[in-house]
Each structure stands twice: as structure tokens, then as C-alpha cells.
Amino acid sequence: MSAGEVSGDRILGEILEPLLERFPGSELRGLGGAAAEACGLQALFPIADTAFSGAWDVIRNTLFAVRMYRAAVREMRRFRPHLVLLVDYPGLNLRLARKARNLGVPVCFVAPPQAWAYRNPARKIRRAAAALQGCHVHALFPFEMESFAAAASRVTAGHFLAAPETAPGREKNLLLLCPGSRLPVLRRNLPVWLDLLDRVGRFPEAGGGKVAVLVPVHLASAAREILATHADGRFAARLRLCTDKESIFAETRHAIAFPGTITLELALHRVPTLVLAIVDPLTLALGRRALGDSRLALPNLLSGEDMFPEWAGTAPGPDPARFLELEKRRDHAPGWGRCLEKLAERMGPATGAQVAVEACAGLLQVSWQVRAPEAKASKKS
């Protein structure tokens, strides 16, 4: 298996837990994080090291990426798995899918590249479809299925973001900062965000004076170091660090978030959000060329509406006045319900875990039946 960043690892965990109930005693090998490790995986590399972000970060880690690929292929050849389960992370996982197919191992690829978000998607779709020839592809959204129908052995769809349960009567007075689930993104964004909030003079008042920083568990230590350096005595006491999304969403009034899956979760929880990306100059230049004038935030992309204000650029970030746009976004904002309806229609049902588990179980059964005679013959010899 392979999931190189946090959102992919969470999907991996949602698939593995029920799958292991059907196939108890199964051994797990490959790449993943806390969710996969809770199911028994001993990851080849820490997920804090595998989660790259941006063109410069990818270039800087080229040799490490080669090491990851070689280690995963070596493990695949030695272990001879009954199934290869890959989630997102296309730079590595498309290559692993091709290698597994050449070795005769069935592949389930979850969350294939979202080429539709780019200016010229056709080339990206062709390359991804070629790598996934003969694999089972599970797309997150129904409209993605057509791109892989001709190449994949089977295509299914369903996202992994369940509708939130509301907690009535709970006061929402918190500003939530979501500076990304990858270490380079955290280090590049959180200090700039704290500085901008301080400069705009709204930090102590934001969200009724309560501010929280949400990070995955493996980045908590790095986030504490940043807060210790950049949150001085004027507002340090108002800050808190958290790693539990569901509990903190219940009291969040509005948020600032780096583009990614978290923006969809915030939209589904009806949290008005400013999407803000501080990136390196190379990533910004290449991103503008690839995306054109396309939106950045997934809720905006999927709904076709400007649900969340967004900005991307290099440090020191946007004019601090841009943060005032948060004040215009409230749960009762005009058109919010209509935008959510369009978003839900494009996303389709939240059946990703159930559908992917059934797909993996089917592939495992077939693989086991094919390999069982080989194992008996090997024992006899």
C-alpha cells in the first residue's frame, strides 16, 4: 500500500479497518501514516518525510523520492502481495501501479489524479490512464469515472467525507487556522498568517478572542516551535493547538485554510473560510501556467461558485485588509444553501469507504484463488 500524505492516509485507514475484519491476520507493507499504522502497517518512511508540496520541494527531494520508489518496489517483489492498494500521491503511486501490473499483482488505485482542475486536462488524463491500464480505479467523484473507463478494469466512485453531525446550542466563536498537513507548507504558511493577523490588528478580537491552529498529530511538535517563535506575549495566551478536527469544527465560526481537502470539510461544516496559500516563487509560476485563472479551493472548483475568498502568492502574503473578507462570510450569507446544493451534487454520495472495501475484497478473493494452487505446488516441491 502507499499513501504519502495525511488525507490519503486517512482514506487508507477507512478502507483497511473493515477490510482486515474480513481478512484477519493479513500483513501490511508499504507507505502510510498514523491511520494505516493503527491497522498494523510498519511504514517504510515517516509520513512527515514523504509529504512534499510545491515544485521546489519536489526538486529538492528528488533523490529521496527515488529511494522511496526503489524501497517500495523491492518490498513488493520480496513480499509478493495479493493486492496493491494505492491512494492519491500520483508522482509515486502511478509508477507503483505500473510496476505492480507488470509483476502480475492486482491494483486498486483510490483518488486518481484530478486533471479536471487544470487548464489542459487531456494530457494528464492520458498519462494517468496509461499507468492505470488494467487496474481497479476508485475515483472520489462520479464525474471523474469517464476519464478512466476505457483503461481501467473497473471504475467506481464515492468520496470519503461524511456529512457532519450538528451540535445544536453550541456557541461558535473560534477562528481556526488550518496551515496544511505537510511540513514544508506548515513552515511556509503559519508564520506569515500569524504576522498578517497581528498586523491587521484583529488577532485578539478574531473569533471572540479565541484562535486555534489545527495540524495532524505528526506535525504538532513543529507547530509548537513556530508558535513559540511567532506568537509573542500580546496574543500567545489566546492561541491553542489542536489535532482533533471534529471537536474543533463544532466551535469554529470562521477559518483560514491552505488549499486542499480541508477546504471541502470546512464547506460541509458550513464554516466561512479564507483560502490562503503562501508558496515558493517556482511553484507560483508553474501553478499559474498550469491552472490559468482557475480557482484554487476545492469547494469553489466543484460548485463553480466563489464560496470562499482565496489568494495565492509568495511571502509576505496579501494586503492584511484581505483578511477582512472573512467578516463578509457567515453561515447566513445569501446563496450559501444554493452553493452547498451544487457542491453536494457534484461530489456525489459519501460511499467511498464501503465501495472501495468491496472492490479490495473482491480483488483479494480472486488473487487468493489464483495464488493458492501455486502455494500448494511450492510446498510439495
Per residue in 83-116, pLDDT (tens digit) is 999 999 999 999 999 999 999 999 999 999 988 8
Domain count, the chain: 2
- Give the residue carrying C-alpha cell 515558493: 280
Taking CA 26 as the corner, what is the angle to CA 66 and CA 145, rounded to the nearest 5 degrees? 65
Look up the domain containing 362 and give its range: 6-160+350-380
Co-location of 195 and 308 in the same domain: yes
139 pLDDT tier (thresholds 50, 70, 90)? very high
Q: Which residue has the higher pLDDT, 206 or 328?
A: 328
C-alpha cell of 276? Answer: 490562503
Compute the mean pLDDT over every residue in the chain, rounded to the nearest whole number: 85
Q: In what order do the strands lie in the sheet with 107-110?
A: 84-87, 107-110, 136-139, 154-157
The answer to whether residue 165 sits within a structural domain is no
Co-location of 76 and 109 in the same domain: yes
CATH code (residue 11): 3.40.50
The answer to whether residue 85 sits within a structural domain is yes
* Residue 102 host element (H or E): helix 90-102
Q: Which residue has the higher pLDDT, 119 or 220?
A: 220
**One-letter identity of residue 161:** L
Co-location of 335 and 373 in the same domain: no
Q: What is the pLDDT of residue 207?
A: 46
**One-letter identity of residue 200:** V
Co-location of 215 and 263 in the same domain: yes
Mean pLDDT of 287-307: 81
Strands (E), 97-203: 107-110, 136-139, 154-157, 174-178
Query: How many residues does the structure list for the chain?
Result: 381
Longest dimension (CA), the chain: 77
Co-location of 318 and 373 in the same domain: no
Mean pLDDT of 222-230: 89
Q: What is the pLDDT of residue 157?
A: 96
Q: Which residue has the higher pLDDT, 215 or 199?
A: 215
Mean pLDDT of 209-222: 90
Q: What residues contact residue 229 under an 8 Å CB cut-off, 6+ apart?
A: 191
Burial 2-31 (b: 16+ CB within 10 A, else e): bbbbbbbbbbbbbbbeebeeeeeeeebbbb
Strands (E), 41-173: 84-87, 107-110, 136-139, 154-157
Q: What is the pLDDT of residues 261-271, one digit of tens each?
A: 999 999 998 88
For residues 311 and 216, give the distance between their C-alpha atoms in angstroms, rounded to a whole number: 23
Reply yes or no on whether the pLDDT at 290 is more than 80: no
- Poorest-confidence range of 12-26, 156-170, 253-267? 156-170
Co-location of 263 and 360 in the same domain: no
Q: What is the pLDDT of residue 49?
A: 87
The answer to whether residue 167 sits within a structural domain is no
Which phi and psi (to 5°) does residue 376 adopt?
Answer: -65, -45
C-alpha cell of 162? Answer: 461524511
Sign of CA dihedral 138, 140, 142, 144: negative
Taking CA 185 as the corner, what is the angle to CA 179 and CA 189, rounded to the nearest 5 degrees? 55
Nearest alpha carbon to residue 128 among 76, 86, 158, 159: 86
Reply yes or no on whether the pLDDT at 43 is more than 90: yes
pTM of the model: 0.89
The answer to whether residue 1 sits within a structural domain is no
Co-location of 214 and 339 in the same domain: yes
For residues 168 and 33, give the distance between their C-alpha atoms in angstroms, rounded to a whole number: 33
346 pLDDT tier (thresholds 50, 70, 90)? very high
The answer to whether residue 166 sits within a structural domain is no
